[in-house]
Amino acid sequence: MGFRARHFPTKSSFWHPLILISAGFVVYSNIFASPFIFDDMSVVVNNPNIFSLWPQGGSSISPTRIVAAISFSLNYAWSGFSPAEYHLINILIHCGAGLFLYGVMRRTLLLPRWNARFNASAPGLAFAIALLWIVHPLQTESVTYIAQRIEALMGLFFLMTFYGFIRAQSSPHSKIWVAAAVAACAIGMGTKEIMVCAPILLFLYDGVFIASSWSDLARQRWKLHSVFFSTWIVFFGLLVMGIAEATEEQAALFTTDSVRWDYALTQLNVLIHYLKLSLIPYPLCLDYRWPLVNSFSEALWPGTLTLLLAGASVWALWRRSWAGFVGAWFFIILAPTSSINPLPDVAFEHRMYLPLAGVLAFIVILIHEGLSRHCIKGERSDSPIMRFGVILLGVVVLIFGILTHFRNETYHSEESMWKDVLLKRPDNFRTAVALSSAFINEGRYGEAEPLCTTLLARLPDFSKLSPEIIKKNYSRPGRPPLPLYYSMAHNNLGNIALNSNHPEAAKQHFREAIRVMPGAAWAYLNLGQALFSENHISEAIVEWNRVLEIQPGDSQTHGLLGIAFSRDNQYQQAVNHFALSLKYNPAYWFARAQVAWLLATCPSNEVRNGTLAIEMAKLLLEGSKQESARAADILAAAYAEAGDYSNAVKYAERALVLIARTPGMIQTNSISSNAVQIRLNGYKAQQPYRE
């Protein structure tokens, strides 16, 4: 073997995977600067369990997705809250899934079932399907949107399960491959609920491509498939945990028969929309908030088409046609989210992550077969017709790649994403709330206020209705939660008023939000802040305690209660709440700074602890890379409390240097050079500082 052959292989087994990985990184190369948005905040940033691998219960991620939750915890252990590393892992997961799809398709086309029909073209066809799947714009929601890693990770285990199962059919180490497939299936059961479809589809795959008949499959291979179906035990065990933790509002989604049929009829429209996006991936939308149909006639023509496709799939499946399995792949994977089981959102593009593979496989194989019929016998691979097919693939991949790259741009800020959604779904009230919240976070109150007032004008006037009437007439499961949008709009108007120094107006908005949505923890939180701004400490404490009744592990609320009790001279209570705040969120530096300052400067001898204050303040300064004036000031006060005045002077002087570097910067907690200088003079005189 020559040097070139040894070191520069030309086989598809080398170049195809390399190109697939490269294509994935190229089309998603512009997502690393995208921040956390929307569900990313609850799944990652505000997830109290992200700081440890175990336990993972009681967070925004349900127990049936515990593997995904652990992946986010591992991501945090590596990179903290840097979005770029989360995006990198998402891309790697997607490329890994694409490689397994390539393996599944190549080995499927080489099975004896095809009578050597695809022996020469199997690698190329598998490559074409996997490449189109990786770069397809419809996949952006599962890859670019960090929170939807859950879908992509489940897809990876789904395809790993199929790959292991297929390898076991011809490998001398079949038991090892079966064990690997079962392990992947079991892990997938703890990643996302859709994984329950894997054993069903494996059974159908076996019947279509491997077993000699359906009856032989049932008689001779039932033991093998019973092992895969046994992985449902993992899922149902986690599901029981999830039901135990479900709120009353979540449980209500599964109790109304009329909603089930409304939801099912609406899905007839949504399924056709998914198929359309598979062929023409435009326009894409992060948050459809698709309304339920009001009558059977609204779903008549898409329903007829969907039922014809489903019926044809069943007929073809019974005849053990490969097209029947493709139809089963599409309908069965979408069944848990697109049938009679009502979910809060009718349509989401990430649900097509795996079904898209079946659609693309069907199209690619059909086109290949059509082109093959026009080729001269014996010249199929090199004929002009087949070269045309390769050029067509290149053009489509290029178009899809460009569309994916541009679609990623909308994820570069919350503003760009929500503006994009409003442009495509102007009746999506939830997006109006989200966009106004993004403006408020950036201090753009003049742009946020019209969005909220316009939204309230389009909603029913709940101010004239009692909570009982609102709950009876407007809180139907499966319908748009109009009272929630009304409440959130008032909450945002309250935040605008509070930040504009109008606390009375802010309190009115927050109280109206609470009246309509008594379980709105965020409204209680903000009402407490409005009361605190007016120095109504005891009233603020009452509101913040109500937040903890709704969500006991809220780190921010414990931190606010720590400040309130400290202001009310209840220092031990303050320390306790700061400790709980850090327990639920060890990276909450604001709470760490507050408790370190309290331990260093508290008037109460029973609370002060200079040694502990030094430890906490050192962490603050290290976390800021020695650049935080506030951290240096706290550390100086801690050393003074411990009697180490030389270090107290050193770090107070350091704080002054850091303040001087950024004279125009508003310092945390209104720290000023004058205040630090006064404390410095005291340290030089061997006097600790008391708050």
- Are 62 and 242 in contact by the 8 Å Cβ rule? The answer is yes
pLDDT band for position 634 (cuts 50, 70, 90):
very high
pLDDT, average across residues 638-661:
92
Residue 12 CA: distances (Å) to CA of 102, 116, 342: 11, 18, 45
Write down the pLDDT at residue 244.
52
Residue 519 has pLDDT above 80, yes or no: yes
Residue 380 has pLDDT above 80, yes or no: no
Whole-number average pLDDT of the chain? 89
DSSP, residue by residue, 465-492: S-HHHHHHHH--TTS--HHHHHHHHHHH
Residue 667 has pLDDT above 50, yes or no: no
CATH entry, 588-691, from 1.25.40, 1.10.20, 1.10.10, 3.30.70: 1.25.40
Residue 531 CA: distances (Å) to CA of 249, 540, 564, 573, 575: 29, 5, 11, 19, 22
Write down the pLDDT at residue 324.
96
DSSP, residue by residue, 115-163: TTTTTTTHHHHHHHHHHHHHH-GGGHHHHTSGGGHHHHHHHHHHHHHHH
Most confident of 5-14, 295-304, 391-400: 391-400
Amino acid letter, 143: V
**Which residues have C-beta within 8 Å of that of residue 168, sequence separation ≥ 6?**
174, 175, 177, 178, 181
CA atoms within 13 A on the CB side of 298: 13
pLDDT, average across residues 439-447:
93
Write down the pLDDT at residue 55.
64
According to DSSP, residue 266 is labeled H
Q: Chain-centre distance of CA 175, in angstroms? A: 36
According to DSSP, residue 291 is labeled P
Residue 385 has pLDDT above 50, yes or no: yes
Of 32-46, 91-105, 124-138, 531-545, the least confident: 32-46
Residue 94 has pLDDT above 90, yes or no: yes
pLDDT band for position 73 (cuts 50, 70, 90):
very high
Q: What are phi and psi of 376, to 5 degrees?
A: -70, 135
Write down the pLDDT at residue 670.
56
Residue 157 has pLDDT above 60, yes or no: yes
> Other C-beta atoms within 10 Å of 254: how many?
14
In percent, the amount of the chain with pLDDT more than 90 equals: 71
DSSP, residue by residue, 308-344: HHHHHHHHHHHTT-HHHHHHHHHHHHHTTTSSSS--S
Q: Mind listing the pLDDT tens digit for each residue in 563-590?
A: 999 999 999 999 999 999 998 888 888 8
> Other C-beta atoms within 10 Å of 656: how many?
18
pLDDT band for position 249 (cuts 50, 70, 90):
very low
In percent, the amount of the chain with pLDDT more than 70 equals: 91
**Run of H or E including 580:** helix 571-584
Domain spans of the chain?
10-410, 588-691
- Are 637 and 600 in contact by the 8 Å Cβ rule? The answer is yes
Amino acid letter, 33: A
Residue 652 CA: distances (Å) to CA of 370, 562, 684: 79, 25, 10
Of 140-149, 246-255, 481-490, 506-515, the least confident: 246-255
Residue 1 has pLDDT above 60, yes or no: no
pLDDT, average across residues 126-139:
98
Write down the pLDDT at residue 531.
96
pLDDT band for position 312 (cuts 50, 70, 90):
very high
Write down the pLDDT at residue 255.
39
pLDDT band for position 242 (cuts 50, 70, 90):
low
Write down the pLDDT at residue 659.
87
pLDDT band for position 45 (cuts 50, 70, 90):
confident
pLDDT band for position 49 (cuts 50, 70, 90):
confident
pLDDT, average across residues 306-318:
95
Write down the pLDDT at residue 587.
81
Per-residue tokens: 195? 């994984």
Residue 250 has pLDDT above 60, yes or no: no
Reduce the DSSP state of residue 190 to 3 states and report it.
Answer: coil
Show the DSSP H helices in 169-256 as ranges: 174-189, 197-205, 214-220, 222-229, 232-245, 248-251
